[in-house]
Amino acid sequence: MVAAGAADPLSGAAGPLAAATREGPAGTPGIYLHCLFCLRRCPYCDFNVALYREDRIAPFLDALHRELALYGREAWASRTAVESLFFGGGTPSLLEPAAIGGLIEAVARTFPVQPGAEITLEANPERLTRERLLGYRAAGVTRLSLGVQALDDRVLARLGRGHTAEEARRAFGAARAAGFAAVSVDLLYACPGQDLAGWGRGLAEVVGWGPEHLSCYALTLEPGTAFARRPLQDLPDEETQLAQYRAMVEGLGAAGYEQYEISNFARPGHRSVHNQRYWRGEEYLGLGPGAHSFLGAVRFANLRSQLRYRARLDAGLLPIESWERLSPAQRLGERIVFGLRLAEGIPRTWLAEGFAAAPATLERLLARYGEAGLLLAEGERVRLTEAGRLLADAIGADLLPAA
């Protein structure tokens, strides 16, 4: 146990952050590697990305390996079995298969990786040939997450994407030809210039491809993005967005996909192991510029600037910029809010714990939402109904534990 106030030689930090990085996860964590580069910045994107340049790749990979090696010095690394590894970004598929393979090998040298662990690579259709995909498979990638977003070239252009619908079709075909048996497709609805019929056509075509998993999110105008700065004239109105959501739930349900999370759909046996960790409030370690981690009760984030990230590693220190220790009530609150997004819902005991001082209030809330057809409290679990999912954020906020 690192005493509160004692500085950690790896992070240079003291107190709870030092304890979290020295003691490691209590359970089996997921590992996230942030691959920073994209060919361009999409006007709706607020992720930490940098423009791809050939000469930036080697220093970036070197830094990522050094960050991993720092964690490898900790005693907990060798006793921590990893069940999921996720290459996110950015556009990880801009990295060569040999680079992805080198990182997978480095992770496996640092932490024992469970047999059959899920290893996901996010990919964009650009440059995604069968040969490249064969390389990723040979490197150990088991699951591909393909950023299709739309199958209408006019909508893709409005989204500032760098690929056409035809390139997305070819990329999915190439993934199958390379032998990927677990492919997830990302789609966006509520996009500029996208009506209900257009959304339905794209969705139906993707369903026809037969992916094992779909992630379908409504486009949001995140502060600081180009879309948030200049008003969009041709966004679908609220009624259309709702109709798009309903068409998605109905169409994907009829095609045999389970809506296991509000925006995520899977064929049996194909839920995302890694992303379920986030929704269940479980631990994960994030590596790379701007990556977030959650170990023990401490959440921390790496430096976002690749130069500052690398400079910290050059000094032999973990590149952590900020951290916070969640109180038991905050942690419980997060598990309630995210857990309610899942079809499996949450244990009723979590709510009982959060409302220990006001059990009558909890019973009143559960009765009110139950009567409104928004929530089901059955036996030991509480979950949202289909109607309740549309109000998940508001219901989650009501069910937060008292501070």
Residues that bind ligand SF4 (CB under 6 A): 38, 41-42, 45, 47, 49, 89-91, 124, 147
The number of CA neighbours under 13 Å toward the Cβ of 265 is 25
CB of 91 to ligand SF4, least distance (A): 5
Contacting residues for 102 by C-beta, under 8 A, at least 6 apart: 61, 65
Task: Using the minimum distance from each CB to ligand SF4, give the nearer residue, 89 or 396.
Answer: 89
**Please, what is the minimum distance in Å from the beta carbon of residue 45 to ligand SF4?**
3
- Dihedrals φ, ψ of 84, to 5°? -150, 145
Pick the closer one to ligand SF4 by CB: 123 or 252.
Answer: 123
For tokens 């005991």, what's the residue? 349
Nearer residue to ligand SF4 within complex by CB, 42 or 151: 42
**Number of helices followed by number of strands (H, E) in the chain:** 16, 17
When the beta carbons of 90 and 396 are compared against ligand SF4, the nearer one is 90
Alpha-carbon Rg for the chain in angstroms: 22
Q: Between 49 and 64, whose beta carbon lies closer to ligand SF4?
A: 49
Distance CA 119, CA 144 (A): 8
What SS3 state is found at 301? Answer: strand
How far apart are CB 305 and ligand SF4 at their closest, in Å? 17
Q: CB of 348: closest distance to ligand SF4 in angstroms?
A: 38
Question: What is the length of the chain?
Answer: 403
Report CA torsion sign: 82, 73, 60, 48: positive
Tell whether omega for the bond before 253 is within 30 degrees of 0, i.e. cis: no
Give me the least distance between CB of 86 and ligand SF4, in Å please. Answer: 14
Pick from 116, 198, 102, 187: nearest CA to 146: 187
- In the complex with ligand SF4, the residue whose CB is nearer, 159 or 346, is 159
Q: How far is the CB of 90 from ligand SF4 (least distance, A)?
A: 5
